[in-house]
Chain A
Amino acid sequence: MALKLKLHTQPDVPMEADCICPNRMQSLSDNEIENLTVFHGNRQVKLGDFFKCDGDNDGDIIIDGDLSNIKHIGSAMLSGKITVEGNVGVHTGAAMRGGEIIIQGNASDWLGPEMLGGRITVQGDAGHMVGSGYRGSTAGMQGGEIIVHGNVKNETGHVMRRGLIVVGGNAGDFTGVNMLAGTIIVLGEMGIRAGAGMKRGTIICQNKAEILPTFTQSCDYQPSFIRRYLKYLTTLGLSINESLINGPFERWCGDSVELNRGEILLYAGK
């Protein structure tokens, strides 16, 4: 049976609850879990002041409530599963190494920043900086998968080094900016300046996009690896157009101000 956390009191200022993580709650009783420390603004309070805890902790945590004002859920998570039946605040899944976070609502900014492994699935939209690095950091996401069914905002995959980010809807500006490696797939439209400063890595988009003057078109082709990716995405519940799976892609190489070994693949079938 999963451990259930029900939000009974909405925090009036932002709360930082990095203790909400299967590996931190492992082998704790309900009472001990409610006594875990969280930061309510600058006050250290008990998790139980805001959440009612019920069930057994078998590594599976289900959270009920709107957690928009609660930060750092699943930070540095190693294993297990968190299901949020609502929205989540910033820094969800920050630096997580393993396990799975499922968000049934929307996610805020900095979803899975500097993530190392595991999977985050958002059934709604996500904010800015999905899978990115923090300011001043040289590497963002370094492994794992982030699947957002809805839209995301700017700087998705900023300084991303490894891993997969999938956006079911539209992405904002600077998708894959300063990307070092890894794969970003956008099934909707991308904003401007995608791939700016990218060294390596692949950005795939189902629609045409404005390309920076420092990228050059190399060819139109049908890469077989995209088929495998897209078929994999259908198993995760994303609806993929059959023509996309078999379709041709324009390949743009860049960014020439950096190594010029990155690529943007734009669907060329329409």
Chain B
Amino acid sequence: MTENTRIVENATCTFCGCVCDDMQLHVDLDEKRITKAKNACILGRAWFAEHTIEDAPAAMIDGKEVTIEEAIEEAAQTLVNAKFPITYGLSDTTCEAQRQAVAISDIIKGNIDTTTSVCHGPSGLAFQGVGESTSTLGEVKNRADLVIYWGGNPAESHPRHFGRYAVTPKGMFTPGGKKDRTVVLVDVRKTKSAPVSDIFIMPKPGKDFEVLWALRALVKGKKISDDIEETTGVPLETLEDLTDRMKNCRFGVLFFGMGLTMTRGRHFNSGALLALATDLNEFTHFVAKPVRGHGNVTGADNVVSWQTGYPFGVNFSRGYPRFNPGEFTTVDTLSNADADAALIIASDPASNFPKKAIDHLKNIPIITLDTKQTDTTKDAHVAFRTATYGINTTGTVYRMDDVPITLRPAFESPFPEDETILKGIRKRVQELMLAKHQARGGGGEAKVASTTPL
């Protein structure tokens, strides 16, 4: 370690949706790397340690190094010439960059989707169908005396969720910390989160909906069938006990993960849980919150929502936003071979999408913005290497409870920010679309688009 060290106080970790903003980063400015991340969990430490500056070109076309301007021109031409261009990713970049991506999709009349569609997308559908009784994590910390985790394993996926927000912290009305709370974990297997819980409930795999539905009936004072244990693996007495606890707590919270949203029933599972929280508000204060994965996936939902009216799976091909998950979500647009060009921002679909979708992705021109080489960037027609948000760039991200947090960068990167590249692409596609429109003898629409402030 050299003497040229900088300490960044109250830096933010953008690895997971907890977005912990109490990091103390020790930065070696000569080597351009973070040597210590105080307060970070094991995942955060790995996140800070692995983001160093690599020796790689900032922009490439078909694997050959080019200038950033050339790459922006090629990316813009590719997107403007496509009939069904898709934009995907966005959960690991700043809200400022996400905003530019939405503008690009709007101008090129494309399709925009975020990684929400493959994680808590079903919850997004359920919010629309059922509604959301919600709160911030600060309220949970200060008030919640019954905390239920359903279909998640925060001990491994969000290690500081217990300690910082929901289980052990001492709050205004929970001065005893964990002693003042009852923690319930519902999962199909005993995970590393189970020892934290006071009550562990293990339904049969794929029976979460039935358990939630039975709880809804019990909360409403309705009778449920006697064979509930045989159907769900959970005894009636256990459900009745949980119902009593839920109805009689002062402030209850249901945190739910992808064990609920991505199993059979998907948005109906999330919807059942949200409806249960709503039902419980007849008796006490109860909220439900999804435990989000990527650092700024919540920001992606917020930005896409406030710019288009919908959180993900939005299509602009007719000149106005339309929302239809299953049709305009990226797995579907790729699996159905709809898309003919892709702008992938801070995401790696080529390593985790279904094979059919990956096969089609490899057959169309891809433009990528990423901090590292990935399976997707390897196949990219135009690849930009960008700076890491939160480590090299400032900006805004949203915590999983929709609270915006400003980032404090640790050291500079030689690579441009996502926002800078996307601003360049937006400017160029706007010029190209305007030229196309004028060539057809048009005026108004493109002029309006070109003067819309962003």
Stretch at the interface among B45-53, B149-157, B318-326: B318-326
Stretch at the interface among B137-145, B190-198, B208-216, B286-294: B208-216
* Distance in angstroms between the alpha carbons of A259 and B223 in the assembled complex: 14
Contacts of A214 in B (CB 8 A): 213-214, 216-217, 222, 224-225
Query: B213–A257 contact, CB under 8 A?
Result: yes
Query: A128–B326 contact, CB under 8 A?
Result: yes
Chain A, 231-270, CB within 8 A of any chain B CB: 256-257, 260
Query: A213–B340 contact, CB under 8 A?
Result: no
Query: B217–A213 contact, CB under 8 A?
Result: yes
* Distance in angstroms between the alpha carbons of A135 and B82 in the assembled complex: 28
Binary interface encoding of chain B residues 416-441 relative to chain A, with 1 for a CB under 8 A from any of its CBs, else 0: 00000000000000000000000000
Known: A42-B316, A134-B324, A135-B323. A12 touches B340 (CB 8 A): yes
Q: Does B338 contact A (CB under 8 A)?
A: yes
B343 CB to closest chain A CB (Å) equals 14
Query: A193–B228 contact, CB under 8 A?
Result: no
Which of A109, A129, A196, A257 has most chain B Cβ within 10 Å? Answer: A257
Query: B317–A39 contact, CB under 8 A?
Result: yes
Give the contact-size bracket for chain B. Answer: 35 or more
Contacts of A173 in B (CB 8 A): 264-265
Query: A42–B83 contact, CB under 8 A?
Result: yes
A131 CB to closest chain B CB (Å) equals 16
Query: A135–B129 contact, CB under 8 A?
Result: yes
Please report the total number of A residues contacting B with Cβ < 8 Å.
33
Contacts of B264 in A (CB 8 A): 173, 192
Query: B340–A257 contact, CB under 8 A?
Result: no
Contacts of B108 in A (CB 8 A): 42
Query: A257–B125 contact, CB under 8 A?
Result: no
* Distance in angstroms between the alpha carbons of A192 and B125 in the assembled complex: 20
Query: A257–B323 contact, CB under 8 A?
Result: no
Contacts of B165 in A (CB 8 A): none
Q: Does A55 contact B (CB under 8 A)?
A: no
Q: Does B248 contact A (CB under 8 A)?
A: no
The list of the 8 closest CB pairs from A to B, nearest first, reads A41-B83, A42-B109, A136-B128, A13-B84, A41-B84, A256-B222, A42-B317, A213-B225
Query: Interface of A with B (CB < 8 Å)?
Result: 12-14, 16, 39-43, 90, 109-110, 128-129, 134-136, 173-174, 177-178, 192-193, 196, 211-216, 256-257, 260
Query: Can you show 8 pairs from A to B with CB atoms below 8 A apart?
Result: A13-B339, A41-B82, A41-B83, A41-B317, A109-B327, A214-B222, A214-B224, A257-B222
